[in-house]
Each structure stands twice: as structure tokens, then as C-alpha cells.
């Protein structure tokens, strides 16, 4: 699992250049910063510079740091961003996660198969009809 790659759905730029998923974020006031995410689905420790202050419950725009595309995918539900994960066998999955700071929900999707992670995964249960898997 730690060898999984994560790429932007638009430019296919590598979003995990080293050990963390690296994404750009924009706050409502226009401030931008980088956030590092744990590549293990269901782990929500994040890293960012102390000058880029994040408040639980605030909605961010999540942007590709390579091509700057907005990663929000409103075709499924609001406040979810989408990136792609490629496992060691080359299988590709859509990974959806909340753009709200502190919201712990992640969905791994391939075809009709949905795996949900995180204690807040029930928030979007209606969209995929899945129960959270801890
Ligand atoms: Zn991109």
C-alpha cells in the first residue's frame, strides 16, 4: 500500500513525490498553502506550515500543485475532492475525500466497488450506500 501512487485526474502529475500526498489548498479569504496528507487511506494526520492556519469545519478549495486544477468533483456530492490512486498492480482507483478541515471521510472507488474510510464516512453514505469501514 505504501508504494501506491497518487496522481492528478487532470494532468496526471504525481501528487506523492515522496512519502506524503502533497496538495495545494486555498482558503475562503484567498490564502493559499500546501498540505501534506498521509497516503494510508483512513489516516488523517496532516502537515502544513504554522502560518497557514486551518480551522476545523472550514471549507477549502483543494488544488493540484502541478497544474493548479481545482480538484473538487461536484458530480458526486458537494465538498468532495477527487484524486486518482494507482496501486502496485497498476490498478487505478478514484479517491474522494472531504474538502472540509477535520472531516474524516475517504472513499476508494473502482467501478461499482466503494470502500469507505474514516469516522465521518456516513456523511456521504446516501451517495454510495456504503457503511464506513474503520
Ligand atoms: Zn494536475
pTM for this prediction: 0.92
Which residues lie at CB < 5 A from ion ligand 1? 8, 10-11, 13, 64, 66-67, 69
Cα of 66 from ligand 1 centre, angstroms:
5
Residue 24, pLDDT score: 98
Neighbours of 77 (CB within 10 A): 15
Neighbours of 132 (CB within 10 A): 20
Residue 76, pLDDT score: 81
Check if the beta carbon of residue 42 is closer than 8 Å to that of residue 120.
no
Domain ranges of the chain: 5-128
Cα of 131 from ligand 1 centre, angstroms:
30
Cα of 12 from ligand 1 centre, angstroms:
6
Integer Cα distance of 25 and 9 in angstroms:
16
Cα of 21 from ligand 1 centre, angstroms:
13
pLDDT means over runs of 10, the chain (134 residues)? 91 97 97 98 97 97 98 90 97 97 96 92 76 54
Integer Cα distance of 128 and 110 in angstroms:
12
Amino acid at each position: 500500500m505504501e508504494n501506491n501512487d497518487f496522481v492528478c485526474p487532470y494532468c496526471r502529475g504525481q501528487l506523492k513525490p515522496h512519502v506524503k500526498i502533497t496538495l495545494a489548498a486555498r482558503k475562503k479569504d484567498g490564502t493559499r498553502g500546501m498540505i501534506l496528507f498521509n497516503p494510508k487511506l483512513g489516516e488523517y494526520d496532516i502537515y502544513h506550515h504554522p502560518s497557514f492556519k486551518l480551522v476545523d469545519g472550514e471549507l477549502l478549495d483543494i488544488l493540484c500543485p502541478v497544474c493548479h486544477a481545482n480538484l473538487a468533483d461536484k458530480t458526486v456530492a458537494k465538498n468532495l475532492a477527487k484524486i486518482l490512486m494507482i496501486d502496485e498492480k497498476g490498478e487505478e482507483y478514484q479517491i474522494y475525500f472531504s474538502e472540509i478541515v477535520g472531516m474524516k471521510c475517504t472513499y476508494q472507488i473502482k467501478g461499482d466497488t466503494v470502500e469507505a474510510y474514516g469516522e465521518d464516512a456516513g456523511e456521504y453514505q446516501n451517495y454510495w450506500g456504503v457503511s464506513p469501514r474503520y
